[in-house]
């Protein structure tokens, strides 16, 4: 079977971070003002830390622009649980980006629907996303596009799946504090990125990765849409790759 996505398997999470940072670094050396799509959650933290180390060593990311994937509805940017705060702390500061060039969907405001439209316009005006960094939910979600999201969806207000709220409860004091709604780039938005880099580590992601890579392209597994992307890279550790077969077309990253 020929699969369309490029799969890189690293020995462990450090190797995943390095392999992903190599892809991002190549992009920035080519296009110093590249537009990055920025996932939050645990998966890209190693990548951001590795990039921060490279920036400390001289990699210049000051012209890079960024658009976060999603935000919780109801959380203000100064709330430590908001993705705006996470992006500030893990990306904008350590990577020395210009804060004026880093955008996060608004989670509060009088007219979030208009803000979603504006977010799409801002991405278009920036020339589109060159490289979208992604994680994957255990249920196969991309951004907060939960199963059954339309493949054509754009940045919008969406409902979080109950399983996602449970998974993300670790970032909140009480499970009931996890917001019910979010603003997320749509699958249509994500698919327009020129390159996508999906990062997944650990056995808890193995089933979702198998469905994304080998399963039917179905809205029941939103990440399966990446099989139709023009340049999708999936970087996983051995544990998350457990369901892929040796006959799949992948390469091993140099060991970290
Ligand atoms: C976060 C996002 C989500 C996460 C996914 C995995 O911005 O869009 O799709 O990437 O829920 O989360 P972690 O990495 O915490 O397992």
Say whether pLDDT at 108 is over 80: yes
Which residues is 5 bridged to in the sheet?
none
Q: CA torsion, points 4, 223, 250, 25, in degrees to nearest 10?
A: 100
Which is more confidently placed, 103 or 253?
Answer: 103
Task: Work out the pLDDT band at 247, boundaries 50, 70, 90.
Answer: low
Pocket of ligand 1 contains residue 70 by CB under 6 Å: yes
Are the CB atoms for 184 and 156 separated by under 8 Å? yes
pLDDT average, residue stretch 136-164: 98
Are the CB atoms for 186 and 155 separated by under 8 Å? yes
Distance from Cα 105 to the centre of ligand 1, integer Å:
15
Give the Cα-Cα-Cα angle 66, 67, 70 (nearest 5 degrees).
Answer: 145
Which is more confidently placed, 252 or 232?
Answer: 232
Q: Are strands 232-237 and 250-252 parallel, antiparallel or unpaired?
A: unpaired
* Catalytic site residue from 50, 71, 130, 139: 139
pLDDT average, residue stretch 138-147: 98
The yes-or-no answer on residue 141 being catalytic is yes
The yes-or-no answer on residue 85 being catalytic is no
Measured distance CA(25)–CA(30) in Å, rounded: 9
Are the CB atoms for 51 and 61 separated by under 8 Å? yes
Atom 10 of ligand 1, residue of closest alpha carbon: 135
Structural domain 5-252, CATH architecture: 3-Layer(aba) Sandwich (3.40)
Task: Work out the pLDDT band at 117, boundaries 50, 70, 90.
Answer: very high
Pocket of ligand 1 contains residue 42 by CB under 6 Å: yes
Predicted local confidence at residue 56, as pLDDT: 98
Place of tokens 């077969």: 245
Distance from Cα 100 to the centre of ligand 1, integer Å:
24
Predicted local confidence at residue 250, as pLDDT: 76
Phi, psi of 72 (to 5 degrees): -80, 135
Predicted local confidence at residue 145, as pLDDT: 98
Q: Which of 9, 19, 24, 15 is nearest to 249 (CA)?
A: 9
pLDDT average, residue stretch 108-122: 98
Task: Work out the pLDDT band at 86, boundaries 50, 70, 90.
Answer: very high
Predicted local confidence at residue 5, as pLDDT: 82
Task: Work out the pLDDT band at 205, boundaries 50, 70, 90.
Answer: very high
Q: Where are the domains of the chain?
A: 5-252
Distance from Cα 32 to the centre of ligand 1, integer Å:
26
Measured distance CA(14)–CA(32) in Å, rounded: 25
Predicted local confidence at residue 4, as pLDDT: 60
* Catalytic site residue from 50, 70, 88, 192: 70
Predicted local confidence at residue 2, as pLDDT: 43
- Model pTM score: 0.96
Pocket of ligand 1 contains residue 40 by CB under 6 Å: yes
Predicted local confidence at residue 170, as pLDDT: 94
Give per-residue pLDDT as tens, 28-59. Answer: 999 999 999 999 999 999 999 999 999 999 99
């Amino acid at each position: 079977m020929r699969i369309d996505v490029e799969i890189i398997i690293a020995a462990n999470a450090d190797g995943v971070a390095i392999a992903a940072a190599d892809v991002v670094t190549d992009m920035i050396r080519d296009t110093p003002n590249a537009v990055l799509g920025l996932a939050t959650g645990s998966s890209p933290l190693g990548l951001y830390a590795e990039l921060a180390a490279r920036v400390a060593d001289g990699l210049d990311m000051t012209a890079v622009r960024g658009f976060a994937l999603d935000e919780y509805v109801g959380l203000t940017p100064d709330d430590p649980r908001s993705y705006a705060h996470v992006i500030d702390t893990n990306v904008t500061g350590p990577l020395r980006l210009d804060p004026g060039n880093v955008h996060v969907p608004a989670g509060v405001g009088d007219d979030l629907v208009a803000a979603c439209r504006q977010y799409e316009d801002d991405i278009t005006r920036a020339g589109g996303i060159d490289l979208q960094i992604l994680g994957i939910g255990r249920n196969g979600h991309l951004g907060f596009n939960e199963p059954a999201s339309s493949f054509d969806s754009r940045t919008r207000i969406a409902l979080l799946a109950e399983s996602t709220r449970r998974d993300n409860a670790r970032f909140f004091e009480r499970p009931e504090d996890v917001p019910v709604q979010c603003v997320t780039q749509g699958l249509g938005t994500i698919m327009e990125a020129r390159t996508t880099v999906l990062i997944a580590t650990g056995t808890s992601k193995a089933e979702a990765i198998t469905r994304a890579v080998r399963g039917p392209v179905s809205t029941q597994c939103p990440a399966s849409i990446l099989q139709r992307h023009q340049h999708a890279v999936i970087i996983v550790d051995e544990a998350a790759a457990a369901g892929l077969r040796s006959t799949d077309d992948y390469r091993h990253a140099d060991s970290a």
